[in-house]
Amino acid sequence: MTEVLVYVDHADGVVRKPTLELLTLARRIGEPVAVALGDGAGDTASTLAEHGAVRVLTHVAPEYGQYLVVPKVDALQAAYEQVSPAAVLVPSTAEGKEIAARLALRIGSGIITDAVDLEAGEAGPVATQSVLAASYTTTSRVSKGTPVITVKPNSAAVEAVRAAGAVEALNVTFSDQATGTKITSRTPRESTGRPELTEAAIVVSGGRGVNGAENFAIIEALADSFGAAVGASRAAVDAGWYPHTHQVGQTGKTVSPRLYVAVGISGAIQHRAGMQTSKTIVAVNKDAEAPIFDLVDYGVVGDLFDVVPQLTEDVIARKG
Amino acid sequence: MSLRIVVCAKYVPDAIGDPHFTENLTVDRDDVDGLLSELDEYAVEQALRIKEAADAEITVVTVGPKDAEEALRKALSMGADQAIHIEDDDLHGTDVMGTSLVLAKAVQRAGYDLVVCGMASTDGTMGVLPAILAERLGVPQVTLLSEVSVEGGAVKGRRDGDAASEQLQASLPAVVSVTDQSGEARYPSFKGIMAAKKKPVTSWDLSDLGIDAEEVGLEGAWTTVESAAERPARTVGTIVKDEGGGGRQLAAFLAKRKFV
Ligand SMILES: Cc1cc2nc3c(=O)[nH]c(=O)nc-3n(C[C@H](O)[C@H](O)[C@H](O)COP(=O)(O)OP(=O)(O)OC[C@H]3O[C@@H](n4cnc5c(N)ncnc54)[C@H](O)[C@@H]3O)c2cc1C
Ligand SMILES: Cc1cc2nc3c(=O)[nH]c(=O)nc-3n(C[C@H](O)[C@H](O)[C@H](O)COP(=O)(O)OP(=O)(O)OC[C@H]3O[C@@H](n4cnc5c(N)ncnc54)[C@H](O)[C@@H]3O)c2cc1C
C-alpha cells in the first residue's frame, strides 16, 4: 500500500488534535507515515501509533527553535525523498501552510490549502474547501506532482486505530536558507485552561456590544457554564478588550463548532467567514436588524447585559 | 542608494459584493466591483512607514486583469512612487504556483531590497504566496508580522502566533508579509489622489518576463477545481424579543438541542 506523509504539530511531545484528524484522513488514501520534529519529537510516537501511524520519522535539532520555517521544510523534504509518498498532509496552521507551500514548490507539486475534507479519488485525493467567506464549497485536486494539502482543524472525527508506529531517525541536512531568519526571542502564551478555539465543540464570542474589557467576564462565565472556548469579533479585539489570538473571522480563526453563540456581534461578512459553517448558531443582539440574525437557529433580540447572565444562570441550574 | 521596496498588491472582488464562480470554475471577476485587497493596504502602509524612516523608493506590483490598475492607483494615491501592472490574457485562472512565478520574475526585473506583501488576499485567502515567493527568490521570509522595521541592512519584526510571540530578524534582501494588526492604513489625501494620476504605471506581459503561456493560466495550473457549489442558505430560525425571560428561553432551546 502507498504511504502518506503526515506532518506532526506538537508541543514538546504532546500531539495536537488536528494532527490526529490528519492521520484519520490519511488512512483514506494510504498508510500514514508521521514526521515529528524538534524537542519531544520521540515522545509523540505512542500517540501517533495509537492513531494509525505505521512509522514515525523523528529529528531533533536546535535549528527548529532558532530559525523560522525553513529548517522544517528541509526536514519534510528529506522525509519526502525517503518515503516517496502518495500525498503530503499538513495541519492548516499559519506555520503549517508556509511549510507545506515551500515544500510543494521544491518538489514540483501543486498545493491546496485549508481543506475541510479529503477523499480518495481516481486521479488522486480530492479536497473539499469552503471558500469566498464560506459561501461556496469546492472540490479540487492537485494535478501536478505529489499532492500537498493543508487541512483545517475539525475536518474529521478522530479514530483510534493501532499501528506499528516504529520510530526511525530522519537524516536531515539543512539548506543554506535554513538560517536565514533568526528567531531572536520567544514569549510563550499562557494557557487559559479553556478549550482551544478551533477545536472546541462550543464557542461563545463577544463583540463590540460587550462594551469593555471588564465586561468580557460575562462572556467567559457563559463559556465556562458550557465548558466552551471564548471568541471575539475584530471590533472587540481592536478595542483591546480581548487578545487577537481569540479573534474569529477572516483574519482570525475559522471555527466550525457544534454550537456558536454570538453575543453583541452584528455579523459582518468578515466575521461570518470565520463561523458560518458552525452546526447550530444562536445570537443575542439588541438590534433586530443585525445581519447575524440571518444565520441563526435561535436569536434573542435584547440587551446582552440582561439576557446573558440569565442564560448562564439557567444553564448552570440545568446542569446542576 | 535608497532602499528599493516592492509591494505586492492584489485586485480582488469586493467581499460584500457576493462573488460567484463562472462556468469554468474560476471566480467571476466581472459581476462584482473589485478593489485593492484590504489586507494589502496594510502592506502599502508599512512600506510607507519604512520610507518615512529611511531613504526608500516604493514600487507596487499587481498581477491581474485590466481593471487591476485600480488597485495600483489606490496604492499610488496612498503614497507609493510607481507601479507595475502585469497583464496578459494567458494569466486567466493562474494558481498560486503560477502567480508566485510571475511575481518572482517581476520583482527581480524591477530590482528590490525588500518585498512587502499582505498576510493573505481577501479572495483566495491562501496566505502562502509570500513564503513561496521567498523560496523562489532564495531570500529570507519574515512573514505574518504585526510589527516591522528596517535598520542597517536588516529587517526586524514581531510574529504573534498561537503558541508564542516571536521576534524575528533577517538581512536584506528579504520578503516580508504584514498582518492587519500592524497598524491602520492611511486614507489617500486629495493631494495624494491628484499626484497618483501622474505617477508612472509600467505594463509588462508574460513575454517581458520570459514566461511561457503554458507555465501559467488554467492550462498551466498545478491544481484543478472540479466542482463549486453555492452553500445553501440557512433555514430561518426562531427569533424572540426579550420580555424579561429571553435568557431562559434560549437556555430551553439549547437544552432541547442537547447542548445543556
Ligand atoms: C480585511 C478585513 C478583515 C476583517 N476580519 C475580521 C475578522 O476576522 N473578524 C471579525 O469579527 N471582523 C473582521 N473584520 C471587521 C468586520 O468588518 C466588522 O467591522 C466587525 O466584525 C464588527 O464587529 P462587531 O460585530 O463586534 O461590531 P459591530 O458591527 O459594531 O456590532 C456590534 C453589535 O452589538 C450590538 N449591541 C450593542 N450593544 C448591545 C447590547 N447591550 N446588547 C446586545 N447587543 C448589543 C449592536 O446592535 C451591533 O449589532 C474585518 C474587516 C476587514 C476590512
Ligand atoms: C476561492 C479561491 C481558492 C483558491 N484556492 C487555491 C488553491 O487551493 N491552490 C492554488 O494553487 N491556488 C488557489 N487559488 C488561486 C490563488 O488565490 C491565486 O493564484 C492568487 O493570486 C494567489 O493566492 P492568494 O491570492 O490566495 O494569495 P495569498 O497567499 O493569500 O496572498 C498573500 C499576498 O500575496 C500577494 N499576492 C497574491 N496574489 C497576488 C497578485 N495576483 N498580484 C499581486 N500580489 C499578489 C498579496 O500581497 C497578498 O496579500 C484560489 C483562488 C480562489 C479565488
Contact call for residues B174 and A182 (beta carbons, < 8 A): no
**CA of A143 vs chain B CAs: smallest distance (Å):** 5
Ligand 2 neighbour B39 (Cβ under 6 A): yes
Cβ separation of B246 and A109 shorter than 8 Å?
A: no
Ligand 2, atom 53: nearest CA belongs to which residue? Answer: B124
Q: What is the pLDDT of residue B23?
A: 87
ω into B173 cis (within 30 of 0): yes
Domains and CATH numbers, chain A: 3-179 (3.40.50.620), 202-319 (3.40.50.1220)
B127-165: pLDDT as tens digits: 999 999 999 999 999 999 999 999 999 999 999 998 899
Distance from chain centroid for Cα B136: 18
What is the C-alpha end-to-end distance of chain B, expressed in Å? 66
B123 alpha carbon, closest ligand: 2
**Residues 163-202 in B contacting A (C-alpha not used; CB under 8 Å):** 163-170, 174, 179-181
DSSP, residue by residue, chain A: --EEEEEPPEETTEEPHHHHHHHHHHTTTSEEEEEEESTTGGGGHHHHHHBT-SEEEEE--THHHHB-SHHHHHHHHHHHHHH--SEEEEE-SHHHHHHHHHHHHHTT--EEEEEEEEE--TTS-EEEEEETTTTEEEEEEE-SSS-EEEE-TTSS----B----EEEEPP----GGGGSSEEEEEEEPPP-SSPPTTT-SEEEEE-GGG-STTTHHHHHHHHHHHT-EEEE-HHHHHTTSS-GGGBBSTTSB----SEEEEES----HHHHTTTTT-SEEEEEES-TT-GGGGT-SEEEES-HHHHHHHHHHHHHHHH-
Ligand 2 neighbour B144 (Cβ under 6 A): no
Shortest CB distance from A126 goes to which of B16, B156, B226?
B226
- Mean local confidence (pLDDT), B102-110: 98
Of all residues in chain A, the one with the smallest CA distance to B179 is A251
CA of B129 to the centre of ligand 2 (A): 7
Low-confidence stretches of chain A (pLDDT beneath 50)? none
The model's pTM is 0.97
Task: State whether residue A306 sits within 8 Å of chain B by CB.
Answer: yes
Cβ separation of B241 and A302 shorter than 8 Å?
A: yes
CA of A209 to the centre of ligand 1 (A): 8
Ligand 2 neighbour A131 (Cβ under 6 A): yes
Ligand 1 neighbour A233 (Cβ under 6 A): yes
pLDDT reading at B8 higher than 80: yes
Would you kindly state where each structural domain of chain B is located, as residue ranges?
Answer: 3-220
Of B175, B162, B82, nearest to B132 (Cα)?
B175
d(CA A170, CA A309): 54
With b for 16 or more beta-carbon neighbours within 10 A and e for fewer, the A161-174 pattern comes to eebebebeebebeb
Looking at per-residue pLDDT, the higher value among B36 and B236 belongs to B36
Pocket test for ligand 1, best of A234, A248, A255, A287 (most atoms within 8 A of CB): A234
Looking at per-residue pLDDT, the higher value among B1 and A102 belongs to A102
CATH value of B3-220 in 3.40.50.12280, 3.30.200.210, 3.40.50.620, 3.40.630.10: 3.40.50.620
Shortest CB distance from B225 goes to which of A140, A184, A284?
A140
Q: What is the mean pLDDT of chain B?
A: 96
| Count helices and strands in chain B by DSSP H and E runs | 7, 13
Atom of ligand 2 nearest to the CA of A131: 1
Shortest CB distance from A105 goes to which of B132, B226, B229?
B132
Of A245, A239, A280, nearest to A259 (Cα)?
A280
Q: What is the pLDDT of residue A219?
A: 98
CA of A236 to the centre of ligand 1 (A): 8
- Mean local confidence (pLDDT), B14-19: 88
Q: What is the pLDDT of residue A1?
A: 65
pLDDT reading at B1 higher than 80: no
Give phi and psi for B225, each to the nearest 5. Answer: -85, 125
pLDDT reading at B16 higher than 90: no
Task: State whether residue A178 sits within 8 Å of chain B by CB.
Answer: no
B24-66: pLDDT as tens digits: 899 988 889 999 999 999 999 999 999 999 999 999 999 999 9
- Mean local confidence (pLDDT), B112-126: 97
ipTM of this predicted structure: 0.97
Contact call for residues B9 and B37 (beta carbons, < 8 A): yes
B221 alpha carbon, closest ligand: 2
Chain A residues within 8 A of B27 when measuring between CB atoms: 132
Of A164, A27, A154, A165, nearest to A87 (Cα)?
A27
